[in-house]
Amino acid sequence: AWTLGYLALALAPSFPVFVAGQLLLAAGMAFNSGTDGALLYDSLLAQGRGEALAEHEGRAQARGLLAMGASALIGGAAASIDLRLGHLLSAGGAAVALGLALAFREPPAAGRAHAPLRQLGAVASHLRQPPLAWVFGFAVVMTVFNHVPYELAQPYLDLVLGESAGPAATPVVSGVVIAAMMTVAAGASRASGPLGARVGTGTLLLGAMVVQGVVIGAMAAWLHPVVLLVLLLRSVPAALAGPIQLGVILPRVEGRLRATYLSVQSLAGRLAFSGALVASAGAVGELDRLDHAAIQTLGAGFGVAWVVAFGLLALGAKALRVGSPPSRSTPTPG
Q: 255-270, pLDDT tens digit by residue?
A: 888 888 999 999 999 9
pLDDT band at 111 (very low <50, low <70, confident <90, very high): low
Predicted pLDDT at 113: 66
Segment 149-165 mean pLDDT: 76
Among residues 12, 31, 30, the alpha carbon closest in space to that of 21 is found at: 12
The CATH class that applies to domain 116-321 reads mainly alpha
Is pLDDT at 297 greater than 80 in this prediction? yes
- Global pTM? 0.82
Is pLDDT at 106 greater than 70 in this prediction? yes
Q: 24-59, pLDDT tens digit by residue?
A: 988 888 877 778 888 888 888 888 888 888 888 888
Out of 66-80, 94-108, 168-182, give the one with best mean pLDDT.
94-108
Please give the Cα distance from 52 to 37 (Å, whole number): 13
Q: Give percent of the chain above pLDDT 90.
A: 29
What mean pLDDT value characterizes the chain? 85
Say which range, 33-42, 282-291, 303-312, has the weakest mean pLDDT: 282-291
